[in-house]
A and B are shown apart, each in its own frame.
Chain A
């Protein structure tokens, strides 16, 4: 099997794919990127890694028809509420139209290969598919 890397560090591939947030040890606010201190409470006490639920509800979406070069269109971009943690992602494995994608629909995390680099390493992306 080809070597694999996640598209972003907050996607963990093992033991099963899931998202990992940095949670402020002072107030519990969650972030997916590297933070110097907490944007919510200002605490610099630090962050702990926590797994984010992989099941969620689609809270907002758009169907993008004009995008950056190399991105196939149309695709669905949205915001998923995963047990109280908001996650930005594409909605995948369904037709990108308003008949198949609806506000409030139940979705779950899914992964897909998004590319292979010159050394044969696969980049693994994620999205949410209808549950």
Chain B
């Protein structure tokens, strides 16, 4: 059996707007921060995995090395929608787990401030002569004419579909989820937005795609996060302080979306998340009840609800009641998104899947300051990218 893998060092930049810095500047801050946090250097790394969605055709990893150390190690530039950061981390973990190297660096970075509404790929402009084209033989753009491909609209339907299947949901319920995450963000100095909203303010803000108003949508912003992973045997050669702060990766899982009847019509974000969670709990040998905190992919308030169920934090069909019980507030039984989540912390796409790991590590190390979940020993980080890809990592506090 392969040996255990640990996070030795990890760093996230403040999320927000960096008009005077380029993508590599932000990535370098995260990478150097993670190396420094782990007490190691680029010379110790055996692999670099770099994620950047907006510049997916660029050699982001090599460009980063030009700024922080060209050591000649293999570089994997990865792109996997909103799961890009988790995919970079998983790539580094696989390399170390396979024994090809004993330390690796994963980086996720995005510059997204000022980017408008994100939609799927089928938009095209209308032409002057109707000519069928593409796999649907469409004569005109279908986004907006045959349903919607905008992200707020897609995830709105995902939440509404859950409500249709199980009941208990309402505009107000979804808005309350957003109220929670914005309240949590006030304790996170690295969040892009740290403003608490009242329920009325959220419900009366600009409607983007019912029931998602603007504060119920993830915030486009710039940011990066990076992590150094290390094998168990190598960690044992390092200082006691490094061993004490290391966080164990008890599960690292990546899934894609298996075929389901309606997935061609509305992306099925449920089945692959449930599968990833099932595999992760098995790998870690723990259950949802053991989790002290969860960072899940609340790209929209409507998405957070369905993932309570997909990650099995509640009984099947019981997500609305679970939320109404107060369980997912920071003083509840299963605090969810104490960072503020994507709705307020921000969602620099490729950084998100490592930034959520940073949040969990911060608590497991007891270094989360004001927003520390006291005595946190186990946490779960989840991301999902449409297309689709799902990453789930379970992390445990060092016993040392």
Contact = CB atoms under 8 A, between A and B. Distances in A.
B119 interface: yes
B13 to A, nearest CB: 29
Contacts of A79: 147, 157, 161, 262, 265-266
Contact of B164 (A40, A62, A103, A114): A103
A108 interface: no
Nearest to A4: B130
B132 interface: yes
A34 interface: yes
A56 to B, nearest CB: 12
A8 B366 CA distance: 56
Nearest to B171: A98
Contacts of A34: 135-137
Given A5-B130, A87-B265, A123-B130, A61 B157 contact: yes
A60 B306 CA distance: 14
A64 B262 contact: no
B143 interface: yes
B147 A89 contact: yes
Given A29-B261, A39-B259, A118-B129, A60 B164 contact: yes
A75 B144 contact: yes
A64 B259 contact: no
Contacts of B139: 5-8, 123
A86 B262 contact: yes
B80 to A, nearest CB: 19
Contacts of B212: 62
Contacts of B153: 62, 64, 77
Interface string B129-160: 11010111111111111111010110011101
Going nearest first, the 9 A-B pairs with the smallest beta carbon separation are A9-B137, A71-B144, A62-B156, A86-B262, A60-B161, A63-B210, A77-B148, A33-B135, A88-B147
Interface of B: 117, 119, 123, 126-130, 132, 134-148, 150, 152-153, 156-158, 160-161, 163-164, 171, 206-212, 259, 261-262, 264-266
6 contacts: A35-B135, A39-B259, A59-B164, A60-B266, A66-B208, A71-B144
